[in-house]
Chains A and B, each alone.
Chain A
Amino acid sequence: AQSVTQLGSHVSVSEGALVLLRCNYSSSVPPYLFWYVQYPNQGLQLLLKYTSAATLVKGINGFEAEFKKSETSFHLTKPSAHMSDAAEYFCAVSVNTGGFKTIFGAGTRLFVKA
């Protein structure tokens, strides 16, 4: 069965600093990987996805993530944090094993300090 681990339930950065949110996955078959963002009192929005094409994936709002098979990681980064990036971020893994299930990590709340 697949699983997702997000390292750090809270991350705090200063405005303009690098954002790094960590995600490790476990899957017995090649996975699809996703990052979603959730703003307060809203549903989740897709930031970016890895689907076995390029290992470096660019998403919306300046975010990108790199798939590293050897490390089973899919960390999310942004070179310069903005106040509007403050939100909760979820990593998710999806595999086709006769059905279709997407499993989410526990989430990382990003705080951005002025």
Chain B
Amino acid sequence: NAGVTQTPKFQVLKTGQSMTLQCAQDMNHEYMSWYRQDPGMGLRLIHYSVGAGITDQGEVPNGYNVSRSTTEDFPLRLLSAAPSQTSVYFCASSVGRGSYGYTFGSGTRLTVV
């Protein structure tokens, strides 16, 4: 099994550009989340989904959109990139509510100049 696959691994954007970070899992997990990781701040939840067609906001949703049209895919869209969105982004999935823990992707390192 591939687990959680994130693409691209690295990306440089100019301020104002838009892009989509891709996330796919092949474990038939219902729950998927996007986190950003910044030095000294741990992981902060951007958006999450409890199943296809259902998404909700996390701690830091501004500037990001998500959709969940299939169980497998959970893309994260940056609408108009800003330098403050320079970060490492992780997608994670879980088989069920709360108690199972997450499987993480390997991350996307995004730089906005």
The main secondary structure of chain B at its interface with chain A is strand
Give the chain A neighbours of B103 by CB distance below 8 A: 46
CB contacts under 8 Å to B, within A90-114, are 90, 94-96, 99-107
Give the A-B pair count, Cβ closer than 8 A.
65
Give the chain B neighbours of A43 by CB distance below 8 A: 4, 90, 92, 104-107
The size class of the interface chain B forms with chain A is 20 to 34
Q: How many residues of A contact B (CB 8 A)?
A: 26
Q: What are 15 A-B contacts defined by CB distance under 8 Å?
A: A6-B42, A42-B106, A43-B105, A43-B106, A44-B104, A49-B99, A95-B98, A99-B48, A99-B56, A100-B31, A100-B98, A101-B58, A104-B35, A104-B42, A105-B42
Interface residues of B (CB under 8 A from A): 4, 31, 33, 35, 40-45, 48, 50, 56, 58-59, 90, 92, 94, 97-107
